Structure 1
Amino acid sequence: MEPVVVVSEVDEDLTVAEATERYGLLEPGDIALLLARAKAEDVAARVADDVVVLGCDSVLELDGEVHGKPADAAEAVLRWRRMRGRSGVLHTGHWLVDERDGGGATLGATASTTVHFAEISDAEIEAYVATGEPLTVAGAFTIDGLGGAFVTSVEGDHHNVVGLSLPLLRELLADVGIGWFDVVGSMRGRLDCG
């Protein structure tokens, strides 16, 4: 297997709005899974047959509210002021579409990890947001970048916080008859979960 990154054309806000209108208020983990599925199905419809497509999306749950990528620096600063010294749950939806000959499976699951944030100063928040890093990621933080210094611990799958739950991916691949070591060799040195 040879991994290829294809960016979906999914309108995330519209997708969530339509699902909420149809099904009612969605749980944070369900939003992540909904978006992962929409992305995987969008890409699967646009690429050649004989592929396996994985779509992922993450949201941060803080006090029952769902947070994706901040709209701008001001929103990122406000979010960090709420997050500092507290904990949130990062939900990452994973959706697999098997387009291989004889495949046809479509399945998914959500990994959820509790993230504990450091008590950081306003100056640290301003400096971190000024780097631009928190503007490109769900929850306005990374654990494998500059934001790692502001995460004091995690409860659950560390890989999920990086962006892709490797244990969950292994299980989903097994469900469609693909062994972990069938893909790891081709991904070695190329697996970028950020």
Structure 2
Amino acid sequence: MSERPSPVHVVLASASPARKKLLHAAGIEPSIMVSGVDEDAATAQAEETYGPLEPADLALVLARAKAEDIAPQCDEALVIGCDSILELDGDGHGKPQTPEQAIERWQLMRGRSGVLHTGHWLIDTREDDGTGATFGATASTTVHFAAIDDDEIRAYVETGEPLRVAGSFTLDGLGAPFVTGIEGDPSNVVGLSLPLLRELLGEVGIAWHTLRAPGIPT
């Protein structure tokens, strides 16, 4: 685990460089601890308990699983788990497993709109000033995709980027030219809703500006 550059130790239970970059740009320097959650197993267990899940609910279930996997290893910290799923025609789509799947996904998405759901789960493990809280919420943003042709799709998939991200696209990378518009929070599409996280932190008595790393004006 890295040093604690923020006044309150923030742990991001995610390997996503985009999520880390979002927090860094907003003045927060988190530690990174990647969860070992088997998403397929977690999904199957949740559906056995609750029945079929809507994409927005599944994103929250997986975000919670990731945060809970990491929290026992974190003392005196705010642990944040996130998971993103693209909903299209009522179906949820995470990361494609193969280039062929990514191509098929884009052929389905092009010229249409989907909803990107990101589940956020916060666990407060602080003992002295903490609340012991464990709770979360999901942010949803509508994304409009360009009507790109098959050659553009194949060229994009060949970069490898669509295989690394939920929904097979990015707003902050090589996929940005293929997103014609969004309705809602743009940071949510990148992978972590900063406005929603601010609200969650407020629920445990943490003002956003108090998390800014030393050297960043408050």
Do the two structures share a fold, i.e. TM-score over 0.5? Answer: yes
Q: For residue 39 of structure 1, give the secondary structure of its aligned residue in structure 2.
A: helix
* Aligned with residue 82 of structure 1, among 82, 102, 108: 108
Q: For residue 122 of structure 2, give the secondary structure of its aligned residue in structure 1.
A: strand
Confirm whether residue 143 of structure 1 aligns to residue 166 of structure 2. Answer: no
Confirm whether residue 174 of structure 1 aligns to residue 202 of structure 2. Answer: yes
Q: For residue 114 of structure 2, give the secondary structure of its aligned residue in structure 1.
A: strand
Confirm whether residue 15 of structure 1 aligns to residue 12 of structure 2. Answer: no
Give 1:46 shift.
2.4
Identity %: 65
Give 1:22 shift.
1.4
Give 1:103 shift.
2.3
Length-normalised TM-score, structure 2: 0.83
Change in CA separation of 1:66 and 1:149 when aligned onto 2, cut-off 3 Å: same
Distance (whole Å) between structure 2 residues aligned to residue 30 and residue 182 of structure 1? 30
The one-letter code of the counterpart of 1:169 is L
Distance (whole Å) between structure 2 residues aligned to residue 81 and residue 184 of structure 1? 42
Q: Runs of 5+ in structure 2 lacking a partner?
A: 1-5, 10-29
Segment of structure 1 superposing worse, 143-152 or 19-28:
19-28
Confirm whether residue 110 of structure 1 aligns to residue 138 of structure 2. Answer: yes
* Aligned with residue 44 of structure 1, among 55, 71, 78: 71
Task: State the match for 2:124 in structure 1.
Answer: 98
Distance (whole Å) between structure 2 residues aligned to residue 105 and residue 182 of structure 1? 19
* Aligned with residue 57 of structure 1, among 79, 83, 94: 83
The one-letter code of the counterpart of 1:123 is D
1:127-146: per-residue Cα shift (whole Å, max 9, x none)? 00000000000000000000
Count of residues in Structure 1 that have an aligned counterpart in Structure 2? 187
Task: State the match for 1:191 in structure 2.
Answer: none
Give 1:187 shift.
10
Q: For residue 60 of structure 1, give the secondary structure of its aligned residue in structure 2.
A: strand
Confirm whether residue 32 of structure 1 aligns to residue 89 of structure 2. Answer: no
1:103-149: per-residue Cα shift (whole Å, max 9, x none)? 20011000000000000010000000000000000000000000000
Task: State the match for 1:158 in structure 2.
Answer: 186
Task: State the match for 2:92 in structure 1.
Answer: 66
Give 1:183 shift.
1.4
Give 1:45 shift.
1.6
The one-letter code of the counterpart of 1:44 is A
Give 1:185 shift.
3.4
Q: CA RMSD of the aligned region, Å?
A: 1.3
Q: For residue 103 of structure 1, give the secondary structure of its aligned residue in structure 2.
A: coil
Runs of 4+, deviation exceeding 6 Å: none
